């Protein structure tokens, strides 16, 4: 008999990211994966640092995409960035 496995979605916390938090996190940005070869950190890693949320169980839903200061491109939660 198989043991029931807890579905991963049940263990995930969805955090809604408001405008002030997006703006605070944008201040860390130098560039994004669209304009910088050295972009290697996922934007949600920065959100973890700014919000203090547990990166192992947290996913984010931003009120708007962040804006790359270098190319003005949209940055989503999973976009790679350079700081």
Q: Domain extents for the chain?
A: 8-82
Tens digits of residue pLDDT in 4-21: 444 445 678 999 999 999
pLDDT score for 10: 62
- The pLDDT confidence band at residue 2, using thresholds 50, 70 and 90, is very low
**Do 82 and 37 meet the contact criterion of CB atoms below 8 Å apart?**
no
**CA–CA gap between residue 8 and residue 28 (Å, rounded):** 30
Length of the chain: 83
Tens digits of residue pLDDT in 29-55: 999 999 999 999 999 999 999 999 999
**CA–CA gap between residue 57 and residue 3 (Å, rounded):** 22
| CA distances for 68 relative to 2, 20, 54, 62, 83, angstroms | 48, 16, 25, 15, 11
């Amino acid at each position: 008999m198989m043991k029931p496995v807890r579905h991963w979605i049940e263990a995930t916390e969805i955090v809604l990211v408001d405008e002030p938090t997006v703006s605070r996190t944008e201040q860390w940005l130098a560039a994004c994966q669209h304009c910088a070869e050295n972009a290697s950190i996922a934007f949600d890693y920065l959100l973890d640092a700014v919000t203090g949320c547990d990166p192992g169980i947290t996913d984010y839903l931003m009120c708007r995409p962040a804006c790359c200061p270098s190319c003005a491109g949209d940055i989503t939660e999973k976009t790679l960035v350079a700081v």
